[in-house]
Structure 1
């Protein structure tokens, strides 16, 4: 086998020719790693898959996660909504070839697909996918790949203007640590292939690799295809309420991690409101948080002020909302790749503007010597503290004028000479967001492409071992990650505080562990950090309401000895260091009123809560009706749109998505359906201006030329749902 490391990569314009060459140099046993989410080299992977499907002497194992596929409807109503989207948003997207084969159970025997994280809920009931799931923490995956003998990484990359570098952009998360592990093993055969797509945003910094790092490159118009867009989901009042409680836990000058989805959008939007519309934020929060409830978060007082110091992002997932927080002046705290600089900044001994005091503080901290050494000078010039025109000759600095100069920090003259043109400029290298991967709507990709390079330099996409744990560069991370708040979602939480996030009671995997455990462990290890687990208190299934706070569950993602902060729409509770009895009482305080009595009885029966305890009066407000009353005024409704970060949908599509989301969980009992049919029929025949808007939505669904009885009834049901949400008076987008 040839070496996987060459001075220049071989370039191809044909995926077929590239596969020919790969098989020639690698052989017929291929363990292929594809990045999770957006960064997969789909064209190459599909060509390789087709070759292996034809030639059963090829052994192909694909190890990946979060396989993206174009949406598909599971009912006539959803298909009517989705089909035009496939034409307008996904017409040029090439699904991975193994997706339909795996769904139908038709994968060839010589091809194996293994995932460690699945698109949530997408592969329930798929026996093959369930059997080939690997349960692993995100940070364990690079080692797992090496142990499985991965020999090819195929990734979509963005080209630099000069073509001498390529950015891993959306997915340096696993590629960088796998490359590092392979390099540590002598003669480990690992080939890196880049599928070049100019539509992928070019991200500078850690995700940049020289062209020589690649063995193969695929270039050409064939590979310049639109990126997979993950549409924003509509945000409900439940998510907004959870977001308000979370926003009140975030300290100014702190660190933030948050995930994708409607809750992530809501959290970012409410943090923006806290900064930009502080009076409204405080009023709504005051209405949501009962005075009695504050005792369940005594160690976490309400944070309600604007962000003067700002936040820094350290998140495996970079959601669209982080870009909004940056523009809003919230994500402004910068961190630096030196622990001493970071300590000096955090303790206000220096500012991020270069002054004489900067040099003195670094000297007093022992970070630099007096006189300066060569290493000191290089360090200071990289940070933009010493004039870049200084150079070394022997043991002395050579000034811009060609004079030799002692590197004396004791005199004002010496310090000013060294600083030179750097005086009053910002210290270089500040990062406002470290991320592992990103995924979002087309709006997000456009914003990333349009970032000014100076602004983009503060966004560093980096390997997952940096964002998700503290094992490497521990002192630096301790300095950077002040007052960290790690926000993650769960499906259920037990009354004792154990968290269920990845699988159902029968062990069918919904998504995966991902990085959740990593961030929970970090929160316990970082001084002042907290893990925040967020979930709606209830879920609707076929019109039946079920509690997401349960007495017990056969397995957990986060064990109860790591319980920390749990948030529902009814409040936030601090479980860290509490007794089982106090944990359970606190959890009851954020449980939906309809399920408190049953859970309390179970706790009493188990001897975990005393028989004399009764539900406090303040818990009785934990109802959807109370939440609706909190948000029901014009100013509040205007600031809490369905799509706070914008959407790729048209207005009609955006409203339909809201209505159809409600229909999926609505009560399916015959009398409810019949009532909606009669209501929708009245709307169908209404001639008012709001009804005209509904008619346009129904036309978008193809109901304007409906002739069959069944389709007309569907149209009535959709019309009723649309009318309900127009009556809410909430805007679709933020102006």
Structure 2
């Protein structure tokens, strides 16, 4: 598509709002990107205008509205406040979200989200009522059906004099929405760009001309740090899951994972497979050696990555950059199906060579002599010398024409290759992504990345990442041995997946792209969808199974069941009968809940009464996993923050301690050992434990006479004391003196 208009530039947001209203009118359907790409200043000013003027009708359609960390209780408040001052000091919260949370949205404003920050809106009626359940790839259609007429997005200015901008983190919906609008003759959609130089400039499809925009907001007031999402601590359960998942990833394959502790664990474990292969193999053997073919016959992968893997992920996690540095994420793909298929065969390297030219000719991709189209293709890919001219099949130089050359002879092919012989093919992409979100380290690394390295990342439309409809042949060639990893809250015994909502209809998050990837895996040769979940959860101090007999809400129906992984193993469900699916799921369930689930399956006639759970799966307990991971120097290989964190060392330890308190709930029987130990330390032994003293000072509990505060201090001291004999490392932590909080 082509745009020829020149944007109007504004330094004052109110003036820009005036101009937009004059262009669009008072009925506004605003599309805001998900995550960090929102134009917060403009969105807040437009919302404030609609608040003051009831004649304006404003619908905001978006997803993943980010908020600064909230403090739900006394401990959280004391932990969070310094983080707000250090990491979020210049972040502008979205006014519509604050009003929505308080039930104060005016009648003329509607906010619709198709994916919410997980768990953040469970008790907000307007958010629950206005939630739109939609596959990620269908959001452009839904926006057009609602009459979208305005997009407002944070963009990054080009580092050169081109005047271009980068959609950076969020070409995911903007590009396909505008393309679909043009295809449908939808009518004008006004585009506002809010320019922030601190947003990384990412090229590829995300690089767009200034003529894409109708209005541009530029000035110091729009320059602010990008919203950080500090990495959460990784627990033993996530590590156990990640080893099983890493054993499913093939060298030369494709990977998609999401954000969060599990994603961090998966990336770290894949890195261990490459950098500490013997240790990786030993731990994997400890986890899987006793398992048999009852639940899975998929061969375990534990070899080094020689060809590497390619990333095709709607969400670009920080761990992918770590995998790139470790030599794991190094397989490049190219925008030509024939060339990609030849490279997949492993006969050729991705360098310009005589053999590659002949193979392209023999496959029918190019002709001999070369046509104009062949020449453009080969030169764009860096496979023949840029000075070759298809006219007369000759090289041209300043002095005139050189001798004729073509594909028929060795001499001709050598001439064609010329200066590019043996050099890497151009246009290789090691990562296609839809959006990114992470720590300050992620943003800094993208800003500082070498241009040649950054060129291997193509942030693009979500229709390219999540679906096969367009360029199907090319995507099938690129996405070899695809492994699409998505998390779930629960899985039923028959393989239906619950990822987005509760039994009472409340939405936890949204479908997002999960269904897209599950369906895509079924269509790709060698592709597999991997649903990962912890086998249990602890709510209010009570342990419950995440593998259930039935559930009224379903995100992925059972007819798309594929691979399910818990910390206790891998269940390959594809193509299996209901009976075998249920048996497989029982085998990867926590042993405390296996008997109950088996009884229900027997009562329903789904599993024969004589079936007995194999001995290898009767010891699915946290104690067994802890014993495996505590052996030798294994704890040192599995830090709490394998990718680093924006937390300081003290905050990182506190986050682990507070997480353990949250899981314990409010049960006095689970709290009592911590209270007793913490009381002893806090009252009598603080001089022996200066780290505990510093921790209590950090939370403001030093010298407190309040009884409630003293109990909280004892709990924290007890939970914090686990680090005194903990063999697991923290990982890299932030320097609190760093002005950027990185």
Q: TM-score, normalised by structure 2?
A: 0.97
Which residue of 2 is the match for residue 476 of structure 1? 474
Once the two structures are superposed, the pairs formed by residues 127-166 of structure 1 within 5 Å of their partners are 127-161=125-159, 162-166=161-165
Shift of 1:588: 0.8
1:539 to 527, 537, 540: 537
Shift of 1:675: 3.2
Once structures 1 and 2 are overlaid, which stretch shifts more, 350-359 or 522-531?
Answer: 350-359
User: Does structure 1 residue 168 correspond to structure 2 residue 204?
Assistant: no
Instruction: Specify whether residues 106 and 693 from structure 1 end up closer, same or farther in structure 2 by C-alpha distance, changes over 3 A only.
Output: same
Which residue of 2 is the match for residue 252 of structure 1? 251
Which residue of 1 is the match for residue 271 of structure 2? 272
Shift of 1:407: 4.4
Shift of 1:202: 0.6
- 1:703 touches 1:712 (CA, 8 Å); kept in 2? yes
Per-residue CA deviations over 1:172-194 (Å, capped at 9, x if unaligned) read 00000001011223361101111
Once structures 1 and 2 are overlaid, which stretch shifts more, 661-670 or 214-223?
Answer: 661-670
- 2:635 touches 2:729 (CA, 8 Å); kept in 1? yes
Shift of 1:399: 4.5
Q: Secondary structure at the match of 1:349?
A: coil
Shift of 1:8: 1.2
1:435 to 406, 416, 433: 433
- 1:391 touches 1:399 (CA, 8 Å); kept in 2? no
Instruction: Specify whether residues 286 and 722 from structure 1 end up closer, same or farther in structure 2 by C-alpha distance, changes over 3 A only.
Output: same
Once structures 1 and 2 are overlaid, which stretch shifts more, 621-630 or 611-620?
Answer: 611-620
Per-residue CA deviations over 1:68-115 (Å, capped at 9, x if unaligned) read 001111100010000111111111000001111101111011111000
In 2, the alpha carbon distance for the partners of 1:536 and 1:277 equals: 25
Per-residue CA deviations over 1:205-245 (Å, capped at 9, x if unaligned) read 11110111111111011111000001101000000000000
Shift of 1:674: 3.4
- 2:664 touches 2:671 (CA, 8 Å); kept in 1? no
Q: Secondary structure at the match of 1:403?
A: strand
Which residue of 2 is the match for residue 458 of structure 1? 456
Shift of 1:725: 3.9
Once structures 1 and 2 are overlaid, which stretch shifts more, 205-214 or 608-617?
Answer: 608-617
- 2:645 touches 2:732 (CA, 8 Å); kept in 1? no
User: Does structure 1 residue 522 correspond to structure 2 residue 520?
Assistant: yes
Instruction: Specify whether residues 681 and 659 from structure 1 end up closer, same or farther in structure 2 by C-alpha distance, changes over 3 A only.
Output: same
Shift of 1:128: 0.4
In 1, the alpha carbon distance for the partners of 2:27 and 2:405 equals: 59
Q: TM-score, normalised by structure 1?
A: 0.97
In 1, the alpha carbon distance for the partners of 2:381 and 2:97 equals: 47
1:493 to 485, 491, 494: 491
Which residue of 1 is the match for residue 555 of structure 2? 557
In 2, the alpha carbon distance for the partners of 1:304 and 1:400 equals: 55
Which residue of 1 is the match for residue 358 of structure 2? 360
Per-residue CA deviations over 1:450-507 (Å, capped at 9, x if unaligned) read 1100000000001000000100000000000000000000000001111000000001
Which residue of 2 is the match for residue 108 of structure 1? 106
In 1, the alpha carbon distance for the partners of 2:186 and 2:244 equals: 52
Q: Secondary structure at the match of 1:30?
A: strand
1:691 to 689, 692, 698: 689
Once structures 1 and 2 are overlaid, which stretch shifts more, 200-209 or 686-695?
Answer: 686-695
Q: Secondary structure at the match of 1:446?
A: helix
Instruction: Specify whether residues 72 and 386 from structure 1 end up closer, same or farther in structure 2 by C-alpha distance, changes over 3 A only.
Output: same
Which residue of 2 is the match for residue 722 of structure 1? 720
Instruction: Specify whether residues 324 and 689 from structure 1 end up closer, same or farther in structure 2 by C-alpha distance, changes over 3 A only.
Output: farther
Shift of 1:619: 1.7
In 2, the alpha carbon distance for the partners of 1:340 and 1:606 equals: 51
Shift of 1:413: 1.7
Shift of 1:354: 1.1
Which residue of 2 is the match for residue 182 of structure 1? 181
Once structures 1 and 2 are overlaid, which stretch shifts more, 725-734 or 463-472?
Answer: 725-734
Q: Secondary structure at the match of 2:292?
A: helix
Which residue of 2 is the match for residue 648 of structure 1? 646
Once structures 1 and 2 are overlaid, which stretch shifts more, 384-393 or 101-110?
Answer: 384-393
Which residue of 2 is the match for residue 319 of structure 1? 317
- 1:258 touches 1:317 (CA, 8 Å); kept in 2? yes
- 1:392 touches 1:398 (CA, 8 Å); kept in 2? no
In 1, the alpha carbon distance for the partners of 2:495 and 2:64 equals: 28
Shift of 1:724: 2.0
- 2:686 touches 2:692 (CA, 8 Å); kept in 1? no
Q: Secondary structure at the match of 1:249?
A: coil
Q: Secondary structure at the match of 2:477?
A: helix
Shift of 1:708: 1.4
Instruction: Specify whether residues 413 and 440 from structure 1 end up closer, same or farther in structure 2 by C-alpha distance, changes over 3 A only.
Output: same
- 1:398 touches 1:405 (CA, 8 Å); kept in 2? no
Gaps of 5+ in 1: none
Which residue of 1 is the match for residue 299 of structure 2? 301
Which residue of 2 is the match for residue 80 of structure 1? 78
In 1, the alpha carbon distance for the partners of 2:61 and 2:251 equals: 40
CA RMSD of aligned residues (A): 1.5
In 2, the alpha carbon distance for the partners of 1:564 and 1:714 equals: 45
- 1:116 touches 1:133 (CA, 8 Å); kept in 2? yes
Q: Secondary structure at the match of 1:561?
A: helix
- 2:370 touches 2:393 (CA, 8 Å); kept in 1? no
In 2, the alpha carbon distance for the partners of 1:143 and 1:578 equals: 35
- 1:676 touches 1:716 (CA, 8 Å); kept in 2? yes
Which residue of 2 is the match for residue 712 of structure 1? 710
Shift of 1:398: 2.8
- 2:148 touches 2:189 (CA, 8 Å); kept in 1? yes
In 1, the alpha carbon distance for the partners of 2:644 and 2:687 equals: 24
Once structures 1 and 2 are overlaid, which stretch shifts more, 266-275 or 607-616?
Answer: 607-616
Which residue of 1 is the match for residue 217 of structure 2? 218
Which residue of 1 is the match for residue 736 of structure 2? none
- 1:354 touches 1:423 (CA, 8 Å); kept in 2? yes
Once the two structures are superposed, the pairs formed by residues 233-248 of structure 1 within 5 Å of their partners are 233-248=232-247
- 2:541 touches 2:670 (CA, 8 Å); kept in 1? no
- 1:591 touches 1:622 (CA, 8 Å); kept in 2? yes
Which residue of 1 is the match for residue 291 of structure 2? 292
Instruction: Specify whether residues 428 and 235 from structure 1 end up closer, same or farther in structure 2 by C-alpha distance, changes over 3 A only.
Output: same
- 1:349 touches 1:361 (CA, 8 Å); kept in 2? no
In 1, the alpha carbon distance for the partners of 2:501 and 2:591 equals: 26
Once structures 1 and 2 are overlaid, which stretch shifts more, 605-614 or 689-698?
Answer: 689-698
- 1:341 touches 1:362 (CA, 8 Å); kept in 2? yes
Which residue of 2 is the match for residue 59 of structure 1? 57
Q: Secondary structure at the match of 1:292?
A: coil
Q: Secondary structure at the match of 1:195?
A: strand
- 1:390 touches 1:399 (CA, 8 Å); kept in 2? no
Once the two structures are superposed, the pairs formed by residues 366-405 of structure 1 within 5 Å of their partners are 366-391=364-389, 393=391, 398-399=396-397, 401-403=399-401, 405=403
In 1, the alpha carbon distance for the partners of 2:687 and 2:434 equals: 47
Which residue of 2 is the match for residue 588 of structure 1? 586
In 1, the alpha carbon distance for the partners of 2:687 and 2:730 equals: 17
Shift of 1:388: 1.6
Once structures 1 and 2 are overlaid, which stretch shifts more, 25-34 or 341-350?
Answer: 341-350
